[in-house]
Chain A
Amino acid sequence: MTLLAVERIKLFSTRSPYWCSALALVLGVGLTAIIAASTDNGQLSLGATQFGSSQLALSVVLVMAALAVTTEYRFSTIRATFLAVPNRTSALVAKTVVVAFIAAVLGEIIAFGSVGIAKVLSPASDLAITTGDEWRHVAGVGLLYGIGAVIAIAVGILVRQTAGAVAILLVWNMLLEGLIGIIPKVGVKIQAWLPFMNANHFLQLGGDNPAEQAGAGVDFKLSQWGSLGYFAAIAVALLVVALIVAKRRDA
């Protein structure tokens, strides 16, 4: 508990998490507002409210989480941390828990905020969240952010510098996994096992408009909750590797 308090103080005594959160909120909810405003009133579907949260804002949250550890390396406060808490694994796990929790809360705010703004701008559309699938589609965004933050922190620990970690995360999430689909035949088979593809699979609403669904056309082998578990397992595996590396190398 002490270590969680420490990481919370560290995070909230600098400005970057506030800026990143604000940016994610503006981008996520803002994109939904634009979509809602440009869709005929009554025609907007719930599935269209989460483009911003699940794509654009997610990238900002990944950057925020990576920054939480790479700035520590950049300014060598990681050394001050390890002097105060020589058990590096505990210190880094505490940081991961705090950042992942904040990311998850932010995800819920952005997801429900997006639905809210869509309701305001397109009052005639049916945007009620009633079925379990609909709840998963909206509330699941927080889980995605929380787990995504774990991946970002693991990458941050491994790479140790902001530019590298951010580049890896953005290229991976926004470009690489999508581009692999271009490979004939095997591309979509590989995609079925890529972490962010599975994360998006988890969010899929299963509506009749396939264009609304990220990862459309990929033949996933896992159930939607199975995909989330897979995404989480990859995040935990990466974190374990990062913790082992951090423990062994010189700070």
Chain B
Amino acid sequence: MIEAIGLTKRYGRTVAVDDLSFTVQPGRVTGFLGPNGAGKSTTMRMILGLDRPTAGRVLIDGKPYTELNRPLQTVGALLDAKWVHPNRSARAHLKWLAVSNGLPKSRVDAVLEAVGLTQVASKNAGGFSLGMSQRLGIAAALLGDPKVLLFDEPVNGLDPEGILWIRTFMQNLAAEGRTVLVSSHLLSEMALTASELVVIGRGKLITQSSTQEFIDRSTGNTVLVRSPQLFKLGPLLVDKGFTVRDGADGALSVSGATSDQIGDIAAANGVVLHELSPQRGSLEEAFMQLTGDAVEYHAEIGK
């Protein structure tokens, strides 16, 4: 578990992180969402003891990072895939990390295998593509078989195949009961990866909730419903106080209700559903609205 309490970081006059408190629970992927410049990377550096908080503290399983004994066995992190010496081989990079934390050499081969870099392990890391660097970074994070994992914008700049690979990888790690915190500035990405969200803007916490709840709230709860019995379902939804409009292709567009609620109502009344889809088309816009003036580059985005 990761626990941030009143975390604050100032660089000169810039307040990068402002009185931020949140928790990250094990067994699921928690998304750390916020526009560029919101303070995600800064927060992660503070979690890992690289940057010193101006105020507040952050604990990993009850301890500050710097007090962990052999920290790679507790926490694995990928903040930047380029944190390797370009003239050092992938295996040598992992080897010194392993030795530093008392890990057996077999772990180096195991993580190389896990990320699919065995073939290129003796090549210099400087010649790696972004995708390969990212895999090397993940290998380093997994080296100590840690319970807690942090990834900062891991899919940035990757091709669709790489994105899918990382997404699946993180979900598998969480399914093994680990604590996974992954940052992104894209809500659409987080919607696919994370089940819990910590949303920040301008260094401040905007909300911490489940991804579903956040999406429902930020999209104005628009759900598209198709059913052969809409004549029956429509009035039932209106009775519950939801706004119902005709959507495309004879479907109904329902506002103010979650898909869960509509599904429950339909089931309770024996209505057959052919489609029940939360509308995510305007997710990014909705996110911008929600983070409102917390967006650093508001003018640019508004164009």
Which residues 266-293 of B sit at the A interface, judged by CB distance below 8 A? none
A2 to B72 Cα, complex, angstroms = 15
- Tell whether, in the assembled complex, residue A80 and residue B97 are in contact, meaning their CB atoms are under 8 Å apart: yes
**What's the nearest-Cβ distance from chain A to residue B294, in Å?**
24
A-side interface residues toward B, CB under 8 Å?
Answer: 2-3, 5-6, 9-10, 13-16, 71, 75-77, 79-87, 248-251
Which of B18-26, B49-57, B218-226 is the interface stretch? B49-57
**Binary contact readout B66-105 vs A (1 if CB under 8 angstroms, 0 otherwise):** 1110011000010110111111110011011101111000
- Tell whether, in the assembled complex, residue B50 and residue A251 are in contact, meaning their CB atoms are under 8 Å apart: yes
- Tell whether, in the assembled complex, residue B79 and residue A79 are in contact, meaning their CB atoms are under 8 Å apart: yes
**A84: contacting residue among B45, B71, B89, CB under 8 A:** B71
The reply on B65 being an interface residue by CB < 8 A is yes
| Closest partner residue, chain A, to B75 (CB atom) | A83
A71 to B95 Cα, complex, angstroms = 19
- Tell whether, in the assembled complex, residue A14 and residue B87 are in contact, meaning their CB atoms are under 8 Å apart: yes
| Closest partner residue, chain A, to B65 (CB atom) | A86
A82 to B96 Cα, complex, angstroms = 13
Q: Known contacts A3-B100, A77-B84: does B52 contact A13 (CB below 8 Å)? A: no
Q: Known contacts A14-B87, A250-B52: does B92 contact A83 (CB below 8 Å)? A: no
Residues of chain B with a CB closer than 8 A to A87's CB: 66
- Tell whether, in the assembled complex, residue B96 and residue A13 are in contact, meaning their CB atoms are under 8 Å apart: yes
| Closest partner residue, chain A, to B67 (CB atom) | A86
- Tell whether, in the assembled complex, residue A9 and residue B50 are in contact, meaning their CB atoms are under 8 Å apart: no
Residues of chain A with a CB closer than 8 A to B45's CB: 250-251
A251 to B82 Cα, complex, angstroms = 15
- Tell whether, in the assembled complex, residue A75 and residue B83 are in contact, meaning their CB atoms are under 8 Å apart: yes
Interface centre among B79, B85, B102 (most CB of A within 10 A): B85
**What's the nearest-Cβ distance from chain B to residue A141, in Å?**
29
- Tell whether, in the assembled complex, residue A6 and residue B51 are in contact, meaning their CB atoms are under 8 Å apart: no
Residues of chain A with a CB closer than 8 A to B65's CB: 86
* A-B CB contact pairs (8 Å), 11 listed: A6-B96, A13-B89, A16-B87, A71-B85, A77-B83, A79-B50, A80-B97, A83-B48, A84-B101, A86-B67, A251-B50
- Tell whether, in the assembled complex, residue B51 and residue A84 are in contact, meaning their CB atoms are under 8 Å apart: no
The reply on B140 being an interface residue by CB < 8 A is yes
Interface centre among B67, B84, B96 (most CB of A within 10 A): B96
Residues of chain A with a CB closer than 8 A to B71's CB: 83-84, 86
Residues of chain B with a CB closer than 8 A to A81's CB: 100
| Closest partner residue, chain B, to A15 (CB atom) | B87
| Closest partner residue, chain B, to A71 (CB atom) | B85
| Closest partner residue, chain A, to B50 (CB atom) | A251
Residues of chain B with a CB closer than 8 A to A71's CB: 85
Q: Known contacts A15-B87, A75-B84: does B50 contact A10 (CB below 8 Å)? A: no
- Tell whether, in the assembled complex, residue B85 and residue A14 are in contact, meaning their CB atoms are under 8 Å apart: yes
**What's the nearest-Cβ distance from chain B to residue A8, in Å?**
9
**What's the nearest-Cβ distance from chain A to residue B139, in Å?**
12
Residues of chain B with a CB closer than 8 A to A15's CB: 87
**What's the nearest-Cβ distance from chain A to residue B250, in Å?**
56
- Tell whether, in the assembled complex, residue A80 and residue B95 are in contact, meaning their CB atoms are under 8 Å apart: no
| Closest partner residue, chain A, to B72 (CB atom) | A84
A133 to B47 Cα, complex, angstroms = 56
Residues of chain A with a CB closer than 8 A to B86's CB: 75
Residues of chain B with a CB closer than 8 A to A3's CB: 100
Residues of chain A with a CB closer than 8 A to B84's CB: 75, 77, 80
**What's the nearest-Cβ distance from chain B to residue A85, in Å?**
6
**B97: contacting residue among A75, A84, A86, A251, CB under 8 A:** A84
- Tell whether, in the assembled complex, residue A83 and residue B50 are in contact, meaning their CB atoms are under 8 Å apart: yes
Which residues 170-201 of B sit at the A interface, judged by CB distance below 8 A? none
**A86: contacting residue among B66, B77, B93, CB under 8 A:** B66
Residues of chain B with a CB closer than 8 A to A2's CB: 99-100, 102
A86 to B97 Cα, complex, angstroms = 13
- Tell whether, in the assembled complex, residue B51 and residue A83 are in contact, meaning their CB atoms are under 8 Å apart: no
- Tell whether, in the assembled complex, residue A9 and residue B96 are in contact, meaning their CB atoms are under 8 Å apart: yes
The 9 A-B pairs of least Cβ separation, nearest first, read A13-B92, A86-B66, A84-B100, A250-B51, A9-B96, A251-B50, A76-B83, A6-B100, A14-B87
